[in-house]
Structures are given as C-alpha cells and as structure tokens.
A and B are shown apart, each in its own frame.
Chain A
Amino acid sequence: MERLRRYGFVIGFLAVPVTLYAVFVISPYVQAFQLSLTDWNGYRSKLTYVGLDNFAKLVHDEVFWRALRNHGVLLLVLPVATIVIALFLSYLLNLGGGTRGDGMRGVWGSRFYRVVFFFPQVLAVAVVGVLFKAVYRPDESGVVNGLLARFGAEPVGWLTEPGLALWSVIAVMVWQAVGFYVVLFSAGMAAIPKDYFEAAALDGAGRARLFFSITLPLLRDTVQVGWVYLGIAAFDGFALIQVLAGDKGEPDGATTVLPIQIWKTAFTYNKYGYASAMGVALFFLTVTFAVLTLRTTRRERIEL
C-alpha cells in the first residue's frame, strides 16, 4: 500500500513538468534534427528528405561563414575583455583598501559600487539595445560623438562603419556583462582566507604580486565558470544585434550571427529545413566549445 502511494506521489509530481518539457522542449529539438534533412517550407504536409543537402549548401554559404567569423571574434574578445575588467574591478572592491591591521580590505564605498555596477544586468537586452542605438548615433546628437565633438574630433559611424560595428556591439555586451562577473568574482574572493594576503604582504609582496600569486590561482574555478558562460553568450547575441544592427546584421552582414540568420531564414524566408540545419550547426559549435573549455582548463584543484 505504502509502495503504491509512493509511486502515485512520484508520478503525480512528475506528470506536469515532464509533459510540458516533452511537448515544448524535447519535441521541437527532435523535429529540428529531422527537419534539417528536409527542404520543408512550413506549408507542405509531407516532408521530402534531401539528405545532407542543407549542410552542403551551408558550407558554401558566404553569410554562414561571415556569421562564424563574427562568432569567432566574439568568442575571443567578449570573455577576455569582460573577465579582465571584472577581475580588476572586483580586486579593487575587495582588496584595494590596502593592508591595514586585520589584512586586506575593500575600498571605502565598495557596497555602493557593487550595486551600481550591476545596474545594466537587470535591464533587458532589447532595452539596452534601443538605448545604445541612441548613444551611438552617427552625429553629435549621440552621446559618444557628442563627447568626441567636445574634443574637436569628427563624428564616427559607430554602427555604420563595417570595420567598427561589431566592436561597438561587443562593447555593449561587455558593458552589460561586467557587473554580473564582479559579483561572481567578489563572492569567490570573499572565500579566500584573509591571512593568506596578510602573510604574503608581511613578506613584502606588492598588490600586483598578491593578485597574480594568490587571488588569481585561488579564483581559477570561478573564472572558468565565467569563461564558459561568456563563451555560450558569444554564440547568442540575438536580441542585442537584432535591435542594434537590424535583421541583416547591418552594415552588410558585418555584425550578423547564426541566431539572426536562423530566425530570418525560418520566419522571413520560410526555409525551415535550412534554418534547422543552421541550428544543428550552432548546437555542435556550442557543445564543442563547452567540452573543449572544460577539458583543456581542468587542472588540479587548489584546496583551501
């Protein structure tokens, strides 16, 4: 009787979540893999299988390679820039107050800074996109160019210069992400025993030395988590680029990414088979990245 009640309870608690998940998550994913082998356009009731044609087409698609190149740039720049800035700021916040009696401490007002730095993180990406579209305006009515004009510089087409647009987009991503990683790294730094710093400082280690020889090695796991998150974010970028640079990744595909192409191929051109093939490519790229990062950066943990 008790056994039956137990099973009834387990099934009762799992029924709704499993159903929702199977219908809205699993079934679309399975269908996507299936559709990637067809030329389905969203209307025909019968699926025509075309084998790996979509993938062959993808390999010869110039836009696909441009999107991949942009993901490559994002993958290199976004994590490095965000982590360096966030590490620097959180080091100042937690330990920048110097060695005074009871070890290292944060600068005065670190609580305030931490709250402000997190502001961009609570704003929706689409809202941030609209905001920066105005900040980046190509004449002096945009904040950046308005500032430049004060120093007598010519206005710059931050989002219209093909060589510059992607960097402007990345700057916004970094702007928004830093606050989160400051919080993440601060939590990690708070877990490092204070007497480590104290002992090293007494032995004459300067701040830079303290950072590179104590903080960074002991923060390794946290930085790795951050790296994986930012790497996965580098394969997205949809909301920001769609709002900031438009459906085509203007100017002329200079800022386009796979998510933009997938969305447009499916819902503008009704090529669901081809869009699914791009999705499959994106999936393998993301998984490869995550596995490679976790493999290559795994090392002996330093026990505290």
Chain B
Amino acid sequence: MTARRDRLPARGRARAGVLGGLSHLALAVWTALVVLPLLWTFLASFKNNTEIFGDALQLPGELRLDSWGRAWSKAHIGQYMLNTVIVVSLSTAGTMLFGSMAAYVLARYRFVGNRVVYYFFVAGMAFPVFLALGPLFFVVNQLGLLNTHLGLVLVYIAYSLPFTIFFLAAFFRTLPDAVAEAAMIDGASHTRTFFQIMVPMARPGLVSITVFNVLGQWNQYLLPLVLLARDQDKWVLTQGIANISTLAGYEADWPGLFAALSMTILPVLVVYVIFQRQIQSGLGSGALK
C-alpha cells in the first residue's frame, strides 16, 4: 500500500489537493444553505418588529427573550407540543404493535386467505390519501371521533399500516425458523413466542420502521387540518405554527412567530443529533428494502 502511494506522481497529489479544496467548498456552500435559514430564524426571535422589517442580515440589537415567553403561553406552543407528543407517541406505539402483529402472522403462518390479506394491506401504498379525504372526514364524524385525539391516532395508525406491514413482513421472513420451533416445543404459546422470541430478534427492523413512523406522523399536516379543525386546544404543532404564521400579520407579533418556529425546530434537531446514527441507517435501509 505504501509503495503505491509513493509511486503517485507529485503533480497528481497537488491536483488532488486542489480538488479536495473544491470538494470542501461545494460541501460548505450546501451546509450554509441548510444552516443559514435556521440560524436566521433563531436570531430573528430576539429581534423586535422594527428590526424584523429592516435589513434581514442585521443582528438583533439586544437579546430579547420576551417573545419566547409569549410564543410558549399566549400562542399555545407548549400546548401544541404536548398534544403532538401525546398523539405521535400513541400512534407510533399502536402502529408498531398492530403492524408487527399483522406482519408476523402474514409472513410466517400459512392459512387460507393469507395472500389476499397481505395484498389488501400492501395495495394501500398505491393510493394517494387525498382520494380518501372527503369520505374519511365523514367516517370519523359518524364514529363521533371528529376533533378528538383518539380519532387522529386511529387514523394515523391505519394509514401507516401498509408500509409498516410491507417492510416488517419482509423482515420477519428472513428470521430463522429454528429458534421459534424450539420455543414451541418447549411449550411456549404462539403469542408468547412472538413477544418474547421474535420481537427481540426483529429489533433492527422494528427500530428502522419506528423512526420512519415517528418522523412521518410528526410531520403530518393534512390529516389534523381535516380531522381536528374545530377544537383549537387539541391542535398539533404543524397546525399551530401555520396558524400563528397567518395571525402574525394581524397581531403584528413577528418576534413571537420566530420564537415559536425556533421552539419547534430546536428540540427536533437536538433529538435528531442524538439519534442521528440510528435515524440515518434506519431510513437508508428502510427505503431500500
């Protein structure tokens, strides 16, 4: 290996240095494009209205923190965040529980109608949710679940099932039979075998899809807009932010808007940076399967 490096002509090495520099330049430009809007939002939350409507590239004159307090309490960001955390944790937990149960049975048990049920679920990936929008509203309404978190949670679970089952069924199929058979011979029930043997073995796949579902459901804007429209106390973060953006014009509280935005963005980025390894590998493998 060293011998080969020594054989590299000096001119080639110098060219590699220049190209390496250009590589870094290109990467730095995209980094700036990503970071600057976020940084600017964060800084704008400390400005006052005059500064916000002045030159965009000016730094805030002093560190004003009052907008953060207003966004948290008066603009209900705290409430929206709590709602979102409740809804997303329940719906992701439900999606993973029911999705892995169905995927497991469909992947590893032979019974009449297995393929029919499997394709029944997988076909859901081909339909745009906008097609179902109108009727969905009336279905949820008839069940008395309109403007409730329960309704939203159930709808999230239902719409996350196709991809979850598609992916997890493929994953369960790859697991070896021997361990499950041994457990059954030792007298474990089907249910126990699933929860105590198969779920731990499927952990990598489950983690990937959990990440996928958390991001997807956290991101949802359309479904809450349709299903939670009336009751503002129950709104999720995406709805709240969009509404604050509309109201900021009337109430002239622009620093409040930027504080609300920063408050939404920061925790997500912190969680992401902590779990970035799992999130990136999870999404990478989830998307390729």
Chain A residues with a Cβ under 8 A of chain B: 5-7, 9-10, 12-14, 16-18, 20-21, 23-29, 31-32, 35, 42, 85, 88-89, 92-93, 96-102, 107-108, 113-127, 129-135, 137, 139-143, 145-147, 149-150, 175, 178-180, 183-184, 186-188, 207, 222, 225, 229, 235-236, 238-239, 242-243, 258-259, 262-263, 266-267, 272, 275-276, 279-280, 282-283, 286-287, 290
Contact = CB atoms under 8 A, between A and B. Distances in A.
28 contacts: A9-B105, A10-B111, A14-B105, A16-B98, A20-B98, A25-B124, A29-B135, A35-B134, A96-B23, A101-B2, A101-B4, A102-B1, A118-B276, A126-B241, A127-B241, A130-B257, A132-B37, A141-B53, A145-B56, A149-B55, A225-B287, A238-B222, A239-B221, A239-B222, A239-B238, A266-B133, A267-B137, A283-B128
A113 B26 CA distance: 11
Contacts of B31: 113, 116-117
B71 interface: no
A123 B265 contact: yes
Contacts of B119: none
A133 B245 contact: yes
Main secondary structure of the interface of A (DSSP, over half): helix
B89 interface: no
A114 B280 CA distance: 9
B237 A9 contact: no
Interface stretch (B62-70, B152-160, B175-183): B152-160
Interface string B139-170: 11001000000000011011101100100000
Interface in B98-149: 98-99, 101-102, 104-106, 109, 111, 117, 120-121, 124, 126-128, 130-140, 143
Q: In which size bucket is the chain B interface?
A: 35 or more
Contacts of A9: 105, 109, 189-191
Interface string B261-289: 10011001100110010011101110110
A5 B109 CA distance: 12
Contacts of B104: 13
Interface of B: 1-2, 4-5, 8, 16, 19-20, 23-24, 26-27, 30-31, 33-38, 40-41, 44, 52-57, 98-99, 101-102, 104-106, 109, 111, 117, 120-121, 124, 126-128, 130-140, 143, 154-155, 157-159, 161-162, 165, 189-191, 194, 215, 218-222, 225-226, 237-239, 241-242, 244-245, 257-258, 261, 264-265, 268-269, 272-273, 276, 279-281, 283-285, 287-288
